[in-house]
Structure 1
Amino acid sequence: MTDAAAADSGAREVPLSALEHYDYCQRQTALIHVEGVWSESAETVRGDLSHTAVDLPGIQRRRGLTVVRSLQVWSDTHGLRGVCDIVEFENGTATPVEYKVGRYLPGGPAELQLAGQALCLIEAGFAVPTGYVYSVAERRRHPVPITANLLDRVVRATEAVRELMANATLPAARNDSRCRKCSLREDCLPELTDGRRQSPSDLLTPRPLGQWRD
């Protein structure tokens, strides 16, 4: 089923934030958006604090530039919905700006979420040649060209997330360096759920007696 067909059939909408979660970890995506699991960490608290200013809806205008904070966007074609931290409008062009607390990672998950916002703005009739990921840690914007390949990644990821949300089985954990930074580590238990180790049921199976030396 295509995204357009899914949207027309009333299938579940995909949050824009789920695109970033999916690119980071499929199991994290399912825990958050299917199971409703969420745990705070130092990173998530810093992220909330860094969004304090942009989370307050508002509009500023100066010299032909209109800056909108906390703008709700959606795509009926692909069944996407979410909120842009900041969008700058000028002469028919829209420029989304996504705030992230950590350092910018070129080609990382934040770019997919930003491109999802761009896809929604393009559907609304705006040209979106470029977006920005603002790194709070670096205090600077990083430009992200909104290319056809990046938009195609958004469409494919949206389809994958929708399938994930319709599946009752949680994906296996990654159990790699990303897990150390994940606030859901204690809920996920990656050491037991990565599919590479014995299942929890095996943990209850008696082991053969060893050879003891008195």
Structure 2
Amino acid sequence: MTPTTDGDGTLAEIPLSALEHYAYCHRQTALIHVEGIWGDSAQTVRGDLSHRQVDLPGLTRRAGLTTIRSLPVGSAVYGLRGICDVVEFAGTTATPVEYKVGRYQPDGPADLQLAGQALCLLEAGFDVPLGYIYSVAERRRHPVTISPDLLHRVVQAAEAIRGLLASQHLPAARNDTRCRKCSLRDDCLPDVTDGRQTRPAADLFTPRPLGQWRD
């Protein structure tokens, strides 16, 4: 895979949010970051509402701990760019905190996005041994160890996303339980874009009741 570069030869920047999208679904990543398609659902609206406080830039200091909300970060080495919801600084140690509306999934897609933030903070000269995923649904933080293996997965995902950016084709849909609540389902049409050849060709011109979509 040849990395996508900008006109000056630098790595094409990958949004940190794309790391989570890629870990969740390759086709969703391409629809959002290549095709520019986005749709709202109850889940995405809840996510927007839960981010209102941390989306407001701000800084507080208390007992040797400096907390910055909505902190822009980037990595020139790995071509990453994005905004951390919250970063807590204590001396040379930085701890990113990523807010998610749903329940935490250990070693799930959100961990990859958090590790991408950690990679940017490491490049800025901070120690980042640990990060947190804050689950709004559970109202608690979940610790995530920033291990070399997790950071390596970030680098691999970033390269793979650059491959999607350079590709002329969208990946096949997963067409599984993850599609059920995806806000891009009507654009993705997973029932007819999953690449399976064993069933008869679908009739794209006959409306189907929502209750008959195969999950």
Deviation at 1:12, TM superposition (A): 2.0
Q: Is 1:185 the equivalent of 2:185?
A: yes
Shift in CA distance, 86/2, structure 1 to aligned 2, threshold 3 Å: farther
Q: How do residues 1-214 of structure 1 correspond to structure 2 at under 5 angstroms? A: 6=5, 9-197=9-197, 203=203
Q: Distance in 2 between matches of 1:158 and 1:109?
A: 13
Deviation at 1:145, TM superposition (A): 0.2
Could you tell me which amino acid in structure 2 is paired with residue 20 of structure 1? E
Could you tell me which amino acid in structure 2 is paired with residue 60 of structure 1? T
Contact residue 84 and residue 97 of structure 1 kept, 8 A: yes
- Classify the secondary structure of the residue corresponding to 1:78: coil
Describe the superposition over 1:142-165 as per-residue Cα deviations: whole angstroms up to 9, x where unpaired: 000000000000000000001111
Contact residue 192 and residue 199 of structure 1 kept, 8 A: no
Q: Distance in 2 between matches of 1:54 and 1:45?
A: 15
TM-score, with structure 1 as normaliser: 0.90
TM-score, with structure 2 as normaliser: 0.89
Higher CA-based Rg: 1
Contact residue 73 and residue 81 of structure 2 kept, 8 A: yes
Q: Distance in 2 between matches of 1:101 and 1:202?
A: 35
Deviation at 1:52, TM superposition (A): 0.2
Gaps of 5+ in 2: 205-215
Contact residue 97 and residue 132 of structure 2 kept, 8 A: yes
Could you tell me which amino acid in structure 2 is paired with residue 70 of structure 1? S
Describe the superposition over 1:78-115 as per-residue Cα deviations: whole angstroms up to 9, x where unpaired: 00000000000001000000000000000100000000
Could you tell me which amino acid in structure 2 is paired with residue 133 of structure 1? I
Deviation at 1:11, TM superposition (A): 3.8
- Identity score, percent: 69
Gaps of 5+ in 1: 205-214
- Classify the secondary structure of the residue corresponding to 1:181: coil
Deviation at 1:6, TM superposition (A): 4.7
Q: Distance in 2 between matches of 1:55 and 1:148?
A: 29
Deviation at 1:198, TM superposition (A): 7.3
